[in-house]
Structure 1
Amino acid sequence: MADTTEEDAASDNRAMTSPPRKASWRFIGPGIVVAATGVGAGDLVATLIAGSKFGYTLLWAAVIGCLVKISLAEATGRWHLATGRTMFDGWRSLGAWTSVYFGIYVVVWGFIYGATAMSSTALPLAALFPDTPGGLKTFAIAAGLIGLALVWFNRYARFEKLMTVLIGIKFLIVVYVAARVAPDLPAALAGLVPVLPDGSLFYTLGLIGGVGGTITMAAYGYWINSKGWTDSSWMKMMRLDNRVAYLTTGVFVVAMLIIGAELLHASNIALAGGDKGLLELSNVLEERFGVFTAKLFLVGFCATSFSALVGVWHGVSLLFADFTERIVRTRKGIEENAVEEVAKGRRERSWPFRAYMLWLTFPPMGLLWLDQPFGLVMAYGVLGAFFMPFLALTLIWLLNSSRTPREWRNGWVSNGMLAAAGLLFVVLCVQQVRDLPW
């Protein structure tokens, strides 16, 4: 896990110097990273509760959610490969307001997310090892420090392998549990027909909007560049990588919906909101299937939360590093190819990259001793609610303009999907703001 030289890092990140003749699943990687990062404990809970309340009725919404996120990730990757410019470089071309918004958002979001991710990873560990001194706080601090070390001392290639292992663990465990509860296949197939039961509108929108990722959607382009994919010759490979990622995500989410429908809906069992609902599910699993299945689910819960933590520590730090480096170098009059800088691993060794990791790790630890600070949580909720509309709508702007080569601009399908995503996230944004405890 030792640090690497610039030449070693570039070699690690550029495992392939040219695209394969035919896109193959053997070469995928960034999609696995975005899938492992994007589906966290919050997504598990939202899907589980949707299944517990409405059975299989909203299965169609989970499928649409995957299609929406495929279109967003594809657009992000296409921008990086078609233009040779990073996502932040594209935002800057739209005006200084994007830098102001992103700078405020990423600082506030990182502070709250750091505490949330550490606590979420700690919950299943505290349940597995209840006699550990310090309990939840000990595991939360350990999760943050381990995540920091894993990203600090490794480069993208090894980070990708770690994320592949973590998503493999959580995927196999959740699918295994779904198989244990014996899904009702006719009911599941009926759930593919769009239906809106009474009281299900915002559960439906949340299910569509929450299937895998928020700010990590913007990080996808940086991960494909870190893989060594830097121009349009990699477009077919990127698109296959993206589809595999959200197929994996889709199976994962459907498995959680099955668990909610069969284990909870059929038995009229209600879970608490938030990550603690997953702890309650482990108790239900223990009563139904025994200690082994319950403990195994807690391991999957831990892998889910920790993969999201590590992915954000790496991906959002890359975004922040690009944000900072581009501003500093522009003011100094230094020209650079940001995509090449990412591909060579230089952003991963920059001081802004490591400074943001430290910001994600240490200041949020103070929140572990506090009950939710009202003002900060409110600011986080408002800023966070606006990010996905910001991403969807700026992608429409960028990919329909002269900033993008004509052959790679949006077609009507891409525009339709991104516009639908933008509208969906605006509605969710308004609802989240309305639900804040003003």
Structure 2
Amino acid sequence: MRNFLKNLGPGILVSAAFIGPGTVTVCTLAGVEFGYSLLWALLLSIFSCIILQEMAARLGVVSQKGLSDVIREEIKKPIFRVLAIILIFSAIVIGNAAYEAGNITGAVLGAEAIFGIQNLQIDDFKLNLWSIFIGAVAFILLFTGSYKTLEKIFIGLVLLMSISFVLTAILTKPDIVEILSGLIPTGNAAGLLTVMAIVGTTVVPYNLFLHASLVSEKWKESSYLPIARKELIVSIILGGTVSMAIIISAASSGLTNVNSAADMAVSLEPLFGKFATWFMSLGLLAAGITSSITAPLAAAYVVKGCFGWKGGMKSAKFKTVWAVVLILGVFFSSLQINPIEIIRFAQIANGILLPVIAIFLFWVVNKASVLGKQRNSKLQNVLGLLVIALSVFLGIKAILSVLQSF
């Protein structure tokens, strides 16, 4: 047990990455709008996350490289290499910009519930000042590199919020039979975009790149692969349990509409009473700022690997990438769009981008030149193909659903 605790790290960070404002918002919406009936989608997402993140972890431990580095090196024909880099670059930068908008908007929801709405009116255009303020804080912390201590505090607050949802889910004494029936898929077409959002907030595409890089830094020999797998599975199951607790708490709250942090806080009232709004707001603010730092960093690492850039976090190219992602996130967050819809859109965008990244990962982990004897087994290939097929199917259905709404 002591050896296992000593090796905790990459898996916990992956799990923490999907317990942010997006997860809280999307899972609350799922519970409010569909009760327990979408728990199956979350269970499927947790399973898919374990399958794909295990491939990413195996790649990192065995090859000692990041996913984008391996893709760049393994595609031999220049024209295909350029096309692949453009595709990955676009997917991650655009996807992370959407995700960043959701992160900042989550922090804004928390700030507005505590300090009130702050807007700047310029003729007919209204700008959300909290978005700019939170973006500026994230920029300063990233630029100076002094976010490490602050990040630990924020992660502590997010962990406290996560435990609170689990306790609330127990306190509300939900109907066990209804929960079990919610774990069985139903043909609820109306919940398709919510299903996509649940997938997008659990299986985060940039986490596949981030995880491969993190494990390659932590473990330098293939012999550590079993401990890396165990740490990953435990971490993701814990994160998934929190997500399920959020859906159960929201479904038991009696809420009918969600537009703000105060609305979401109703699901925590059984535990915190009149202090629920403050607690939820502080948790969203902490989760939003923490994610606002990590998402641009992850994008910068991906682009660095795609182009084979030398130098670390202090290089001008590296800083330019995270700055662009951060600025795009601030821009989209500051527009006068319903904040809940921004967060939901970010998760749907993640779900649509997932198949692109998953296909590249699947191709790489089947190459003997990269993983040797550790390449995918037949069972891993079957499971991987099922996850990819599911993500492609949901992505196409979501796109068609959106197009039909116009």
TM-score normalised to structure 1 length: 0.76
User: Deviation digits for residues 386-411 of structure 1, max 9, x if unmatched?
Assistant: 52111222222111122333321112
**Aligned-residue offset at 1:256:** 0.8
The one-letter code matched in structure 2 to 1:244 is V
Question: Hey, what's the Cα distance between the residues in 1 that align with 2:222 and 2:162?
Answer: 31
Deviation at 1:39, TM superposition (A): 3.2
The answer for the alignment partner of 1:253 in structure 2 is 243
Q: Deviations over 1:249-277 (max 9, x none)?
A: 1111111111122113xxxx4224xxx35
Greater shift, 293-302 or 68-77, is seen at 293-302
Q: Note if contact 2:61-2:219 (Cα within 8 Å) is conserved in structure 1.
A: yes
The structural deviation recorded for 1:288 is 9.9
Greater fraction of residues in helix: 2
Tell me, which stretches of 5 or more residues in structure 2 are unaligned?
121-125, 338-344
Listed as ranges, the matches of 1:186-265 within 5 Å are 186-192=177-183, 194-196=184-186, 198-199=188-189, 202=192, 203-204=194-195, 206-208=197-199, 210-226=201-217, 228-264=218-254
Q: State the identity %.
A: 20
The letter of the residue matching 2:245 is: A
Q: Is the 8 A contact 2:200 2:349 kept in 1?
A: no
Q: 2:109 aligns with which of 85, 103, 123?
A: 123
What residue is the counterpart of 1:403 in the other structure? Answer: 369
Residues 1:80 and 2:60 aligned together: yes
Q: Per-residue displacement from partner, 1:330-351 (whole Å, max 9, x unpaired)?
A: xxxxxxxxxxxxxxxx533332
1:138 aligns with 2:129: yes
> In the alignment, residue 76 of structure 1 is paired with which amino acid?
A
Instruction: Provide the rounded CA distance (Å) in 1 between the counterparts of 2:302 and 2:157.
Output: 22
CA distance in 2, matches of 1:186, 1:358: 48
Mapping for residues 85-164 of structure 1, pairs under 5 Å: 85-92=65-72, 93-94=74-75, 95-96=80-81, 97-130=83-116, 137-154=128-145, 161=152, 164=155
Q: Which amino acid aligns with 2:5?
A: W
State the secondary structure of the residue aligned to 2:220. Answer: coil
Compared with structure 1, are the counterparts of its residues 358 and 208 closer, same or farther at alpha carbon in structure 2 (3 Å cutoff)?
closer
Change (3 A) 1:221 1:260: same
Match of 1:27 in 2: 7
**What aligned pairs does 1:309-348 form with structure 2 within 5 A after superposition?**
309-324=292-307, 326=308, 347-348=312-313
Displacement of 1:369: 4.9
Secondary structure, in 3 states, of the residue corresponding to 1:348?
coil
Paired residues for 1:173-184 under 5 Å: 173-184=164-175
**Alpha-carbon distance in structure 2 between the residues aligned to 1:159 and 1:235:** 31
CA distance in 1, matches of 2:134, 2:269: 26
Q: Distance in 1 between matches of 2:103 and 2:272?
A: 29
1:187 and 1:382 mapped to 2: Cα distance?
Answer: 26
Task: Report if aligned partners of 1:41, 1:305 keep a CA contact under 8 Å in 2.
Answer: yes
- Residue 128 of structure 2 aligns to a residue whose secondary structure is helix
Q: Where in structure 2 are the equivalents of 1:266-281 lying within 5 Å?
A: 269-272=255-258, 276=259, 278-281=261-264
Q: CA 1:289 to 1:160, structure 2 compared with 1: closer, same or farther past 3 Å?
A: closer
Q: 1:170 to 1:382 in 2, by over 3 A?
A: closer
Tell whether the 8 Å contact from 1:215 to 1:388 is kept in structure 2 after alignment: no
Distance 1:142 1:176 in 2: 33
The answer for the alignment partner of 2:385 in structure 1 is 419
* Matched residue count: 386
Distance of 2:327 and 2:229 partners within structure 1: 37
Who is 1:46 aligned against?
Answer: 26
- What TM-score do the two structures reach when normalised by structure 2? 0.81
CA RMSD of aligned residues (A): 3.5
Gaps of 5+ in 1: 1-19, 330-345, 373-378
For residue 295 of structure 1, what is the aligned residue in structure 2?
278
Describe the superposition over 1:329-383 as per-residue Cα deviations: whole angstroms up to 9, x where unpaired: 7xxxxxxxxxxxxxxxx533332222222213335434455456xxxxxx99997
Aligned-partner Cα distance in 1 for 2:222–2:147: 21
Instruction: Report the residue type matching 2:47 in the other structure.
Output: L
Shift, 1:426, TM fit? 0.8
Is the CA contact (8 Å cut-off) linking 2:253 and 2:266 kept in structure 1? no
1:204 Cα deviation (Å)? 4.5
- More displaced stretch, 399-408 vs 282-291: 282-291
Taking a change above 3 Å as real, the CA distance of residues 297 and 159 of structure 1, as seen in their structure-2 partners, is: closer
Residue in 2 that maps onto 1:342: none
C-alpha separation between the residues in 1 aligned to 2:369 and 2:245?
41
Q: Deviation digits for residues 186-215 of structure 1, max 9, x if unmatched? A: 4334444x2415446624565345424232
Opposite residue 102 of structure 1, the aligned amino acid is I
Whole-angstrom CA distance in 2 between matches of 1:110 and 1:411: 31
**8 A contact 2:197–2:351 mirrored in 1:** no
